[in-house]
A and B are shown apart, each in its own frame.
Chain A
Amino acid sequence: MIAILRMEGTNNEDDIYNAFAALKYPVEMVHLKQFTGEAKKELQRNIFDYEGIMIPGGFSAGDYVRAGAIFGARLKKISKELKEFVKEGRIIGGICNGFQVLTEVGLLPGIDNIIVSKPQISLAVNDSAKFECRHVFLKHENKCFFTEKYEKNEIIQVPIAHAEGKFITSKRILEELKENNQIIFKYVNRAGNYAGYPFNPNGSMENIAGISNLEGNVFGMMPHPERVFYPYLHQEKKKVGDGKRFFESIIKYLRREV
């Protein structure tokens, strides 16, 4: 069972829910309070009843402070459980605001430890200084459990919708990310070359759009694969939705024989 974690202001949960449901994988919406013990007793949930947690996009708590900061802070209440969760090889994925939450809570980049107490990555305000919603080209640089079904170096088309998506980190972390093949997606142009604005829509370091932890079971990306689950949702006509294999990869991993 996958839990789609929500709170006030997450607003992409239906789209992710529908993707798993369409692939007939068991999925449930869970409010953050149901994990942290703040909900009524009969509504409380145990994270270890789930194989995976997905954190959807949106504007959790309004994102008035810094994108993902409040969701991240509230999630820290269960950081011990989260650490155990990841250690056991269960998965945690974050899309857009969910990616911001994972960096805020310290589950990404997952280099020094499974979870670090201070954020090591920032998803800062776009260079264009505004919210942008449009489709972009992504190159699949390295495989992780979330992207097993894509070919290495494949170019896909996925929409972005964010104001804070500029990937920034320290030189050391960047080098380690490269070394460990943790960079999963980069922004490119149609030909697959690394290019500046508008192809790199936010000014991310080295065009980074999505990364995983060392083991590949925690993953975050700014673009929205759930919004191109079906071919008819693409900007340009396609036979199969480019986002579908993202969810198929997750399910394939979760159904693996242990």
Chain B
Amino acid sequence: MAEEISLNVNDRKLIEISQALGIGLNLEEMHKVRDYFYSEKRNPRDIELQAIGQAWSEHCSYKSSKSILKKFIFGIKAKQNLLVIEEDAGVVDFNKDYAYVVALESHNHPSAIEPYGGAATGIGGILRDVVCMGAKPIALVDPLFFGDLNFDYKKLPKGVKHPKFIQNGVISGIRDYGNRVGIPTVAGMVYYDVSYLTNCLVNVGCIGIVRKNRIISSKISKKGKKGDVFLLLGGRTGRDGIHGVTFASTQLNEKSEKEDRSAVQVGNPIIKEPLIHVCLEAVEKNLVKAMKDLGGGGLSCCVDEMAYPNFGAVVNLENVLLKERDMKPWEIWVSESQERMMMLLDRKKVDKVTDICDLWDIEYSIIGEITEDKRIKVNYHGKTILDMDIKFLVEPPVYNRPYTIRNLKEGEKETKEPIYEKTILEILSSPNIRSKAFVIQQYDHEVGARTVTKPLQGKIESLTHSDSVIIKPLSKEYKGMAIAVDSNPSLMKISPYWGAKYIMDEVCRNIVSSGAEPHSFADCLNFGNPEKPERMGEFYEACKGLGEFAKALGVPFVSGNVSFYNESEYYSVIPTPVVLGIGIIDDIRKSIRTDFKRNGDLIYLIGDIKKEMAGSEYYKLYGYDFGYIPKCDPDELKNKIKAILEVKKIIKACHDVSNGGLVVTVCEMMIGGNIGASLDLSKIEMRTDYKLFSESSCFVCEIRERDFEEFEEIMKKNKVKFHRIGRVSGSRLKIIDKEKSIILSLREIKEAFS
């Protein structure tokens, strides 16, 4: 049963209580808790302190990030916004009758401890976030960040798993869960850097589609009425996933392996798959008043957040179906066991929902009902063990943490020109550039028969990377969505502000080069310890960059997640904002792919290529830690977007310039088309290596010769710089730059890339 705990003790003892319960509250917060129970004129019970610990954790409450997010990211007005930021996922206008739903979050800490289970349950969680809006999930994305795969085993810090082990576990976890639930994993990225050695980043996003008159809120609206019941359905509640959120809100250390293992949940896709059927059928039949998934903070956070601000709730904890007997009440209340959903139903409609559950063999139980007194009350075998003001629980303290901003140091230095052929092949074969087919093909990216342009594009026997993937969400409509996800750690490392802007620019480039127009964004912000002013400064700068850029484009952030404490005593992750971009294309049959199509076609470079070499793959290869960072301008990007979309019907292939520079872009286009290219860069005024390896905001386009006048005219009209740089031809890459000539065979290029 619930134990009573006295808070009438000194400060040292208060902290000891917080630590002993594992709830992660600091002294200031413990004082607030003590004051609250003074006002209630009684001592708290363990379950009550646990409930506060969950609700007030960084993970659930965004207490360190909220004020900055409000300042920069939230509140970008756009007519497509339907239900954004406040819910588990953002709901955005798609067409007259349908909306799409976007969610993106991290599962970093669990994946560092238990890569397979951590990554798998990450998918489980994001699917529930989309389903609980009433939407059918139609695509998953998985950006991943690991330590250096060749890291010396002997130098591995104690308690840290090798990146190879983590990578293998994470990819298998995503594969085995995603493929089993039958939602295609269509996009992602894999990036390696030593800063992710002790804290890998496993982000996961999901896109869904919902009929507008079936959108379900997780908040109980005023239409709810006293006596409406909470139906808990899906998996049973167990001891797996206890304290997941408080564990995600602290730094990992060498003891984490032992002590926090139980914070990682256990996933079961074969409950999730029918659970999704049940939820969507109940929604379709208009039986559900509100729905929320059980994730961080378990039942406690779920019930609080559903009821607030219009209602209170009373829950009879003995009605929760358990995986194991003898669980303590507080464990039941905060367990984050997977595959559970909560519905609020009119009592008269319960049978209709449970009939659907029975067909799919989904277990369920009625665990409580809503009340009008705006308090949360938990009974256990007839005795009240939790009785608190709901507002106190769900409105935790908000912090304006101190931050320091580091100055950007830039400057170019004299370098020697490299041996070109060797350098190009080395860059193509570097871990962050080379083909990710070994990951992508393990994911079912076709299930659902909606994936129009694929994550790997080109000829069946010679595939290359895509920029974004085009999905056709509705069977009776050709309108589609482009999905792209990006980050750029190597620029973020130099400047969180300009790095963030580059990421925004790149995600838009990826959408546009498929022929779609940017429509909404979701962000997952992975940072270090927010209690350190320099980390908070990185967070501030990154949010500023992201928000300013999105505002200038007029494209909103509709959903997001913050993950702090990705830091250990050895490393802190490079500040890594991941941006998921959604674009809209009116007709999916007009989408553009990255592979070169036909011998003799013209190749154009669109955009202004500059000597912006800091953080480039080329400079990293040679260990150069200087140079200027690319400074992306949203207004310039807008012109490029407008120009490309205007001529898209004559563009045969398009790929943006990013990591590795122009030469990598052209090589990738060659690989997909299984055909060569011949370039002449003499008219661009710069040293050859800067032209080839600069990562400035540009595109490469393939055009039929007969269309060149129309193409150039529209570029000029939109004030976009362009260069005609060559032709698709033969079976090798030939680059002329004045007297210089670089030649590589397609075979050599493919070998390096694969």
Contact = CB atoms under 8 A, between A and B. Distances in A.
Nearest to A201: B441
Interface of B is mostly: mixed
B444 A236 contact: no
Contacts of B475: 18, 22
B419 interface: no
A11 B181 contact: yes
B448 interface: yes
Nearest to A159: B446
Contact of A15 (B271, B448, B454): B448
A27 B524 CA distance: 42
A15 B175 CA distance: 20
A61 B268 CA distance: 11
B152 to A, nearest CB: 27
A161 B181 CA distance: 14
Interface in B376-395: none
Contact of A9 (B175, B273, B444, B448): B273
A140 interface: no
Nearest to B268: A62
Interface stretch (A109-117, A145-153, A224-232): A224-232
Contacts of B361: 8
A199 B460 CA distance: 10
Contact of A43 (B359, B457, B460, B463): B359
Given A33-B359, A61-B270, A62-B269, A14 B448 contact: yes
Contact of B182 (A18, A43, A58, A134): A58
A235 B454 contact: yes
B588 A15 contact: no
A136 B358 contact: no
B175 A161 contact: no
B588 A232 contact: yes
A198 B461 CA distance: 8
A132 B456 CA distance: 13
Interface-centre pick from B355, B444, B472 (highest chain A CB count, 10 A): B444
Nearest to A135: B460
B451 interface: yes
Interface in B666-725: none
Interface string B432-469: 00000000011111111101101011011101000000
Contact of A233 (B180, B269, B444, B451): B451
B180 A227 contact: no
A227 B452 contact: no
Given A136-B460, A232-B472, A232-B589, A59 B270 contact: yes
Interface string A7-21: 011011011001000
Contacts of B151: none
Nearest to B452: A232
Contacts of B447: 11-12, 15, 57, 161, 227
B360 interface: yes
Given A131-B175, A133-B441, 15 more contacts: A8-B361, A9-B180, A9-B269, A11-B180, A40-B359, A131-B179, A131-B442, A134-B463, A137-B460, A159-B446, A161-B179, A161-B447, A232-B472, A233-B446, A233-B452
Interface of B: 175, 179-182, 269-271, 273-274, 355, 358-361, 441-449, 451-452, 454, 456-457, 459-461, 463, 472, 475, 588-589
9 contacts: A8-B361, A9-B274, A11-B273, A33-B359, A133-B446, A134-B463, A135-B460, A233-B452, A236-B459
